[in-house]
Amino acid sequence: MKKNLNIFIFQPYPKFGGADRSIIRIINSINNATFTVVSLKKCNYKKYLNKKINYLRLNSSRSIFSVFELRKKINNIVKISKNKKNIFISNQHFANVISVLSLQNIKNLKLILIDRNHLNELKNYDNFIRLLKNKILLFLIKFTYKKANAIVGISKELCKDLSEYIGKKVFLIYNSALDDWFFKKINHKVNLPKKIFKKKIILNVGFFENQKDQITILKAINLLKGEFNNFHLILIGRGSKYTELQKFVKLNNLKNYVSFFRNINNPNFFYKISNLFVLSSKYEGFGNVVVEALKHNCPVIISKCQSGPMEIISNGKYGDYFEVGNHISLKKKIKNHLLNEKRLKKKTKLSKSYIKIFNLENNKLKFMKLFNDV
């Protein structure tokens, strides 16, 4: 690269999810760049980084209200950065649309959009207002994405379907989910009751939100407890559905079968002690947690959601799957595994060479090439 890079990363609501971890990995791996994270809420990436970066916080409560402020502040910085290559990276549908509307036609600024969820995300809604918002967002995606200098997707199916929808090439760059440098910066002292270690441990890691659909796992184990009771489910996450999940546990007398952990940012200990990892998502862009589980020799059963998780297990070669929301099928899959763990363990072992493609070096090289070419 002939010029040093001045890279802005727009993450409106940083909260240490999969997108945040991917952003942190990009920042840590690229040395010839100055990074500025732009957000609406306070960003706490500092302790996970191996370098100092800049933070720009916008004075808006929602992304849609930040359009003019975002343009003004980025434009002012770019004007005094003429000797650098200025690149603005945006993450996820709504932020990508805002970025194009705000920043298009700023001289000496290249705009890269990263889509981290399949378009199928916008087919999920629980009320009329959400339906209307999703339809508007779908229209704006088709209209605005073409104006970006480059678009990145994090799984093949996501890239293919998005490219067909907007009529523009989408570059595939997998998340570097194998890298856990920043996990090593986080230590959790976890005291699990000894009785849990005597049982088969089932694990799920993800935000307690509609997308992750942990209620399907709870429904499955509610059926399972009548046939097989030597198991314990551990749910790690935080989010708006926590109370609903707790209520289900209470109403169905699952207290002795389920534990919640809401303040765990490094789940490695749990992968290592678990007999099975279950992903129940309605949709995903990639599915970092599936790679993390396989890396730690934890067999996986995933929902057949669009789009990344099925790619990670190579359509069943490296794990089992069930139809989205089908708790009866999931119960059967879990029971079969707990009664005979050899089959899925064999698939897990086979995955070792395949998941090497999700490494930090591949991710870094592809982003550096994109930054060069854009």
All domains in the chain, ordered by first residue: 5-176+359-373 (3.40.50.2000), 187-357 (3.40.50.2000)
User: Beta partners for 87?
Assistant: 7, 110
pLDDT tens-digit series, residues 125-162: 888 998 999 999 999 999 999 999 999 999 999 999 99
**pLDDT at residue 171 greater than cutoff 60:** yes
Place 2 in a pLDDT band, splitting at 50, 70 and 90: low
Q: Could you give the strand order of the β-sheet that contains 320-322, starting from the edge strand earlier in sequence?
A: 258-261, 231-236, 200-205, 276-279, 300-303, 320-322
Q: Are 88 and 13 in contact (CB under 8 A)?
A: no
End-to-end Cα distance, the chain = 11
At 280 the pLDDT is 98
Q: How far is residue 161's CA from residue 15's CA, in Å, rounded to a whole number?
A: 28
**pLDDT at residue 1 greater than cutoff 50:** no
**pLDDT at residue 269 greater than cutoff 80:** yes
At 284 the pLDDT is 93
Q: What is the average pLDDT across 105-116? A: 95
At 143 the pLDDT is 94
Q: What is the average pLDDT across 37-53? A: 92
Q: Are 173 and 367 in contact (CB under 8 A)?
A: yes
pLDDT tens-digit series, residues 158-168: 999 999 999 99
**pLDDT at residue 312 greater than cutoff 60:** yes
Q: What is the average pLDDT across 208-237? A: 96
Chain-wide mean pLDDT for the chain?
A: 94
**Which range (46-55, 158-167, 241-250) has the least confidence?**
46-55
Q: What is the average pLDDT across 34-53? A: 93
Percent of the chain topping pLDDT 70: 99
At 3 the pLDDT is 64
At 188 the pLDDT is 73
Nearest 5°: the CA angle 48, 54, 56 is: 110
At 207 the pLDDT is 95
Say which residue, 2 or 40, is predicted with more confidence: 40
**pLDDT at residue 181 greater than cutoff 90:** no
Say which residue, 324 or 123, is predicted with more confidence: 324
At 82 the pLDDT is 78
